[in-house]
Each structure stands twice: as structure tokens, then as C-alpha cells.
Amino acid sequence: MKRIKFFKLEASSNDFILLDNRKQNLNLDYKNFAKKYCARRIGVGADGLLIIEPSQVGIVKMRIFNPDGSEAEMCGNGSRCVGLWLKLEGGYRKKKTMRVETKVGIIEIAVSSSQEIKIKMIDPFDLKLDLPVKIFKRTVKVNYVNTGVPHAVIFVEGLEGINVEKIGRAIRFHKKFSPQGTNVDFVEFGGSNLIMVRTYERGVEGETLACGTGIVASAVVASLKLGIERKVKAKTKSGEVLEVHFKNERGKFSEVWLEGGANLVYKGEITLKGG
């Protein structure tokens, strides 16, 4: 029987299993592992699996697998969890800023003494506003941007009453966003520089309590649609308020930082049958 050490972390109630494979000795099928152990009730239970591997361009490489086994390009909340783990468990307690390799490029992570974590995201791209999308015999205006993963952003009134599962799924699989599909963010303006966000996540195939790349996508679109400059505060389904800082020069965004907390919930061991 083979035993594997794991860490359970969460950021904005978005929870993850983390495995340290820097020594390349785990010899796991990550896809099947994610499907089995991210499952609620019968596994550890998580919104995703984080794998830490060696890197030639950063201090480590981060890989993310969804509960359906698909590999994601990027995860904002997962990145915050990785940043905290590197400080507490990964041997980088004294390092102020850490460069981490992802599938979409290098991100920078800074962790404060109070465990507030700032992630420098990739520059958003492929921005499109007011795309007409027909669902359930009506046309809705959808904004689209890639913040490491694709996001469709929809402004609504009465956010709490929105059927995120039904509408989100219809847009996530809509032919306009095929073949890769998209995450879907429902956004309500809260006044000043505050927005409220609920997200249907691709790969999870349901609503999560928070989505970091979705918060960034929503903030970027809010900056353009609502005229919010430099900083957007975003309240997640979990109730936590995250901050997104950025530069917006005529619709071109750079220096995008996502800021919020994270927690190491517990450590454990998984016994693999036949290992």
C-alpha cells in the first residue's frame, strides 16, 4: 500500500488538494486522481487538485486539475493557496516574491505576514463586449475575456435570484464558445467600486463559492462598463471581498493583481490501493 501526503487549502472557500511532486516521485495519473479524490463524500472533496512540480523558469511549476479530470490553464484562488503553501511548507518562508510557472506563463506571488496574498496575473486578452448570445429563446448580452482561462461576464440585477446553474450551464456549453467552452460570471454593481460576483465554473460544472480568474474578469469588464478606475472590490458567494488592482490604458489592461487571503486547513495521507 502506497501512502501519499497531501495538503488541504482554501481561498475564499474555494478548496483544493495540493500534492508536492517536486522530486517527481509520485508516479500518479493526475486526471484519475482528481476525479476520485476531489469528489465530495467519497473522496477528500475539493474544487480542484494542485500539483507542485519542478520548474526551470520559476521556483516551482503549478498544475491545476478540475474535479472532472480536465487540466485548467490557470486558477487565481489556487495560486493564492500555492503561495501560502510555499511560505508555510515549501521552504520559501523568507522569500518576499515568488515566480511560479503555469500553463499560461509566469505569475508572481507575494505573501504578507498576515497571510494576505497578492497574485500578479497575466495581462487579460481576447476582450469582447456585448456579444449577443441566444439562450432559452431570448438574447442576452455577454462580455468575454480571457484571464488565464476564458470567462463570459454578464451584468444582472437581483444577483441572489439568478439561477446560476441553469443559465451558467447554457452559456458554458453554448456554440459561440465552443469547442473549449467558458466559465460564466454573473455580476451586480454594488455602488462605488464594489461588485458582487457569482460564478459557474467550467470543469467543476457548477457554481463555486469563489473564482479568482472570474473575479479578475469581472473587474476588468466592470472597469470598462462602469468606469471604475485602478481598483475594484469584488464580493464573492462566500462573502469574502477580494481586491483587483490594474492599469487600464484605453482598454488595454496590465499590472493586474488579485489580492485576498488563504488558509492551510489540514494535512493528511491518502492510502492508494495496490501502491
For the annotated catalytic residues, the residue numbers are: 75, 211
Question: CA 38, CA 2: separation in Å to the nearest integer?
Answer: 19
Sort residue 113 into left (φ over 0), alpha (ψ -120 to 50) or beta: alpha
Question: What's the CA gap between 188 and 155, in Å, rounded?
Answer: 6
The residue type found at 51 is I
Q: How far apart are CA 126 and CA 220, in angstroms?
A: 12
- Owner of C-alpha cell 493564492: 80
Contact 24, 61 (CB under 8 A): no
Vertex 49: Cα angle to 48 and 55 (nearest 5): 130
Q: Report DSSP state, residue 124.
A: P
Three-class SS of 107-126: EEEEECCCCEEEEECCCCEE
CB contact at 8 A, 109 and 86: yes
Residue at 43: amino acid letter: G
What DSSP character marks residue 71? E
Q: Which residues touch 71 (CB under 8 Å, ≥6 apart)?
A: 30, 31, 63, 64, 65, 103
